[in-house]
Structure 1
Amino acid sequence: VHFVHDTQKVNRKNTVTATIDYKFEDGKTAQPTVTQTKHFSEDGTKDLVTGEITWDEATPQKFEDVATKSIVGYTPDKDNVAGQTVKFGDPDINVTVRYIANAQKAKITYIDDTTKTNLDSKDASGKFGQTITFETAPTAEIANYEKKGYVFVSNTFDNQKYQANDSNNVFYVHLKHGTVTVTTENPQTPNTPINPDPQSPKYPKDISNTNSDVKRTIDYKFKDGKPAQPTVNDSLHFERTVVIDKVTGDVSSDTWTQSQDFNDIQTPAIQGYTPDKTVVSDKNIGHDHQDIIEHVVYSPDAQHMTITYVDDTAGKTLHTDKPDGVSDQDAKYTTSNTIKQYTDLHYKLVSDSTKGQDLIFDHDDNVNQTYY
């Protein structure tokens, strides 16, 4: 008796998956995962006596190539993931593409706005996305410049991160020369350092004199040198302002209070006298003007007197004297000699309005002195 093995048709299926992960260096996801799947199906014949199965091998399949997408500031370690050919039963494929941050450079420049020159520049290097750090922090650099007399103006650096384009990693710090103003209220000591920096320039030697007074004396005298009026004293006050460049120690400006005028002083009137100045006027006086001494001299005015000798019996004038002089001057005249001449001629003295005294010219310019 002959037998053959009975058989049975069978089928099997298989899936092979290719997974591409995109990661940054720190493990964070850089791009969405790409997944491809290949499905296989094989037919077979099963020997029901032995249980063995003979499979008709499925055709191998190829995964598609996957180009790596670019990310600004990063370079992937694989520009392309080539599609592999797989067959039924092959293991899943897992590929990781890593994005490496690009090397970047940064630069910060310190600018002197006063002289329009660059003071210094510092370079730094790192990777895209990292916080930029310079060997010496700009805040410390600025503090050092301030110790040298600079004044902070502006700073474009604020702990930024590296950008992909190095032209965006360029920063500027602007500074200008500080100044110190020396006045009477804000004096400074010559030859002492202006700034805390050891190499600081020193204050100039000639800044001590910050104020000045020009004095005026008005002296009133008669022509004979005797005092005529109380002396008048007044003065003008000037102040100096010196602006010094704290960085160089140079004097930026040195100014005094502008020229001033003394008040006009009207000369007091003294009856019977004429001053050689009716007003004392001193104008446009600068801070370096010498002290002023003004002399006002009073000269006596011309004065006149008349001494008339009268014969009361005959009702007629016997004689008239008209001495001339100036105010308050001794006329060097008395009536005694002339009276004696007339009494020797048998006249009898009735009255003498001079009372026999030496006559002194008065200082009334409007009325002549008259005696009988």
Structure 2
Amino acid sequence: MDPTKVVTEIPNVPGYTPTINGQPVTPGSYTPTDPSGDTTVVYVKNTSVTVEYFDQTTGKVLKTDTLTGLMGGDLNYTTTSTIQGYVATVSTVTPTDPTQNTKVTYVKKDAALTVLFLDKTTGTTLATVNVDGKYGDQIKFSPAKLIQSFEQKGYHLIVNEFGQAGTTLGDANNGKTYLIEFERQTKTITPSDPGQPGQPINPNDPNGPKWPAGTGASDLVKDATQTIHYQGVSGVEDSVTTIKGAFEKTVTVDLVTGKIVSETDFTGQANFETVKTPVVNGYHADKALAGGLTATHTGPAKRQRHGDLPSQR
């Protein structure tokens, strides 16, 4: 062989595999290892073999293929079959006996998804649940109990993207993140529907937030009083008139934290009636009637002085 010449291409012959020194080579460009000597390319007829792809865990045959290639080598034999939810344990098939089926082991792919429970009000994560397993595994996780738990703690469910309970892990959900979002509930406390300071906001969550101070019935109302003081004579008691709950306010509470988030001023107005001035022998009053005052939340206690003078005879 002329050392200046080399074999530049090995032709592809359908149904045959080229070999050099008993080793299969790929058709196409080729540079001999010893350009000074002859290179002999021997074509060997391919052999057809049946390949079984089976589940390593269950032993179940998933699929069969008929492949052709050089017996005893790995050229032209490849794991061409893509089986959904599985991955082959080898990249090539190397048959050794054409009379026997060649087995290729497949294992189920790993799969996982994530469920995030979020407080939409604050943007914080309440809980993270990772669901993992193999392709085809049934998803047994259900968010129902966690949702109920957060609702008992004062949250309101607004978004639930997770509808995978009872389905199986696979391409549709592998690697996905599902959001379950809540917003914090508040409650406006009124005199007719007050809180109970120190007691659980939710009876089903005894260790949860408590009604804060300032939410009891007595905290939400204010009395109005009218006091008429008689002067100039001893022994006459003041006339005091009280209107219970004349002024009211409301308080808004975060049901998750048990903290007051806002409250109103007291509102209302109390209109008192007039009161007859008591008769005291030997004295005459400057008024027969006193009182009739109006009280507001900024001045709930009204006081009037009223004089009794000695009688003029």
TM-score normalised according to structure 1 size: 0.47
**What residue ranges of structure 2 are gaps of 5+ in the alignment?**
1-46, 229-241, 273-286, 307-313
Answering whether residue 209 of structure 2 is matched by residue 201 of structure 1, we say: yes
Q: 1:200 Cα deviation (Å)? A: 1.9
Counterpart position of 1:21: 52
- Given candidates 229, 234, 248, the residue that maps to 1:239 is 248
**Cα offset for 1:103?**
1.7
1:119 correspondence with 2:126: yes
Larger radius of gyration: 1
Amino acid at match of 2:104: V
For 1:251, the equivalent position in structure 2 comes to: 260
State the 1:281 CA deviation.
9.6
In structure 2, the partner of 1:141 is: 146
Alignment deviations for residues 205-247 of structure 1 (CA, whole Å, 9 cap, x no partner)? 33222234546799xxxxxxxxxxxxxx999943322221222
Matched AA of 2:91: D
Give the Cα–Cα distance (whole angstroms) in 2 for the partners of residues 165 and 78 of structure 1. 26
Compared CA separation, residues 141 and 236, structure 1 to 2 (3 A): closer
Q: 1:20 to 1:258 in 2, by over 3 A?
A: same
**2:221·2:245 contact (CA, 8 Å) conserved in 1?**
no
Matches within 5 A, 1:1-150: 18-24=49-55, 30-31=62-63, 33-35=64-66, 65-82=77-94, 91=99, 93-134=100-141, 137-150=142-155
Q: Give the partner amino acid of 1:18.
A: V
TM-superposed CA distance for 1:21, in Å, is 3.4
2:19 counterpart residue number: none
Q: Tell me which residue corresponds to 2:9.
A: none
Deviations 1:276-324 (A, max 9, x none): xxxx9969x33x532446799xxxxxxxxxxxxxxxxxxxxxxxxxxxx
Query: Amino acid of the residue matched to residue 255 of structure 2?
Result: K
1:289-368 aligned at under 5 Å gives the runs: 289-292=299-302
Identity in percent: 27
User: Following the alignment from structure 2 to structure 1, what is the Cα–Cα distance between the partners of residues 104 and 197?
Assistant: 71
What one-letter code is carried by the residue in structure 1 that aligns with 2:258? G
Secondary structure at the counterpart of residue 159 of structure 2: strand
**Contact 2:114–2:175, Cα closer than 8 Å, also in 1:** no
3-state SS, counterpart of residue 145 of structure 2:
helix
- Are 2:169 and 1:170 aligned? no
Secondary structure of the structure 2 residue equivalent to 1:81: coil
One-letter amino acid matched to 2:153: K
Q: 1:235 to 1:203 in 2, by over 3 A?
A: closer
TM-score normalised by the chain length of structure 2: 0.54
Separation in 2 of the partners of 1:111 and 1:290?
A: 46
> What residue identity is the alignment partner of 1:180?
K
DSSP 3-state at the match of 1:185: coil
Say if 1:188 and 1:163 are closer, same or farther in 2 by CA, change over 3 A: same
8 A contact 1:126–1:162 mirrored in 2 = yes
Deviates more, 1:237-246 or 1:76-85: 76-85
Aligned residues between the structures = 226
Give the partner amino acid of 2:138: T
The equivalent of 1:153 in structure 2 is 158
* Distance (Å, rounded) in 2 between the aligned partners of 1:236 and 1:65: 92
Q: Structure 1, residues 98-132: CA drift from partner, whole Å, max 9, x if none?
A: 43211223332222222221223233321123233
Q: Pick from 191, 208, 211 the counterpart of residue 221 of structure 2.
A: 211
- In 2, Cα distance between equivalents of 1:215 and 1:235: 9
The CA RMSD over aligned residues, in Å, is 4.5
1:344 aligned partner: none
SS in 2 for 1:168: coil
Distance across 1 between alignment mates of 2:176 and 2:59: 26
